[in-house]
């Protein structure tokens, strides 16, 4: 490393999370937890008053939410939590299928660490159901599928998949939080876990494809 490079690095400031990023993160959490629903307005003045910041800061936060796919802006109507459409659901699941079925090629070849990473969200989901927290079980379900994508060891694939699941949460919050349905998905997650651990890919892939198709159909029944 050159002397000039070392001097530049010493002068570089560490990036800091600004107020807009923190507000966007807080709003994102409230949207994904269902406290703010699809179609709800995100008025600058209301958000500014709630967080005690200037409206230009709120404006930047809302731009971040729009970029993430969680909010939309319409002329004369302002910013609102995005309503997910049937086309969105179909597009999201088409991409999920490409990514997750690629990960199924690792079935039967997992390391102990990868098995543990898949097992934990499955166990967390069952614990959430036993405690009556259906939304937490849904989030554990998402964590399980994120762990599946990590089997690809491809950070870009993980980033794309993360964005897909964030958008998908706008539809998931419309679902009836039904303990019986949650138990069924938990059962199927355990079956997928067993297939990923035991293999071969030829058994895991069709089971995962059927799972994703059923999940898409189930969600469409709430979005249509």
Per-residue pLDDT at 15: 41
With CA atoms as reference, report the closest residue to 44 among 32, 60, 21: 60
- Residue 2: is it exposed, middle or buried by C-beta count within 10 angstroms (0-12/13-18/19+)? exposed
Domains and CATH numbers, the chain: 3-81 (1.10.10.10), 86-223 (1.20.120.530)
Of 12-16, 66-70, 144-148, the poorest mean pLDDT is in 12-16
User: SS3 of 41, please?
Assistant: strand
pLDDT at residue 16, as a whole number:
44
**Residues of the chain above pLDDT 90, percent:** 67
In this prediction, residue 18 carries a pLDDT of 86
Please report how the helices 55-68 and 44-51 are oriented relative to each other, as an axis angle in degrees rounded to 10: 110
Residue in this structure with the two tokens 């936060």, named with its chain if needed:
61
Burial annotation 15-52 (CB, 10 A radius, 16+ → b, else e): eeeeebeebbeebbeebbeeebebeeebebeebbeebe
pLDDT tens, residue by residue, 158-206: 999 999 998 898 888 777 778 888 999 999 999 999 999 999 999 999 9
CA distances from 149 to 7, 152, 153 (A): 40, 6, 8
Predicted pLDDT of residue 189: 97
Write out pLDDT tens, residues 126-170: 999 999 999 899 999 999 999 999 999 999 999 999 999 988 988
At a CB cut-off of 8 Å and minimum separation 6, what does 63 contact? none
pLDDT > 90? residue 117: yes
pLDDT at 66 (0 to 100): 92
Q: Which residue has the higher pLDDT, 31 or 211?
A: 211
Say how far apart CA 112 and CA 124 lie, in whole Å: 18
Neighbours of 217 (CB within 10 A): 11
79: CB partners within 8 A, 6+ apart: 41, 42, 43, 44, 62, 65, 66, 71, 72, 73
Closest CA to 195 of 206, 186, 184: 206
Q: What is the pLDDT of residues 79-106, one digit of tens each?
A: 999 999 999 999 999 999 999 999 999 9
Distance CA 53, CA 23 (A): 9
């Amino acid at each position: 490393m050159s002397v000039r490079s070392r001097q530049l690095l010493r002068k570089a400031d560490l990036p800091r999370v600004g107020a807009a990023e923190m507000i966007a993160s807080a709003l994102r959490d409230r949207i994904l937890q269902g406290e703010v629903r699809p179609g709800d307005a995100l008025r600058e003045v209301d958000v500014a008053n709630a967080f005690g910041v200037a409206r230009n800061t709120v404006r930047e936060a809302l731009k971040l939410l729009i970029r993430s796919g969680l909010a939309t802006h319409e002329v004369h109507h302002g910013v609102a939590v995005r309503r997910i459409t049937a086309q969105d659901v179909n597009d999201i699941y088409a991409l999920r299928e490409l990514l997750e079925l690629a990960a199924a090629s690792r079935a039967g070849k997992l390391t102990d660490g990868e098995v543990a990473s898949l097992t934990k969200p499955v166990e967390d989901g069952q614990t959430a159901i036993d405690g009556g927290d259906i939304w937490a079980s849904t989030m554990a379900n998402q964590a399980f599928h994120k762990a599946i994508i990590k089997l690809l060891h491809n950070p870009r694939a993980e980033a794309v998949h993360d964005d897909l699941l964030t958008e998908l949460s706008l539809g998931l919050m419309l679902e009836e939080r039904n303990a019986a349905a949650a138990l069924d998905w938990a059962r199927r997650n355990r079956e997928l876990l067993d297939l990923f651990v035991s293999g071969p890919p030829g058994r895991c892939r069709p089971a995962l494809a059927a799972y994703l198709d059923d999940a898409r159909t189930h969600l469409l029944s709430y979005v249509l």
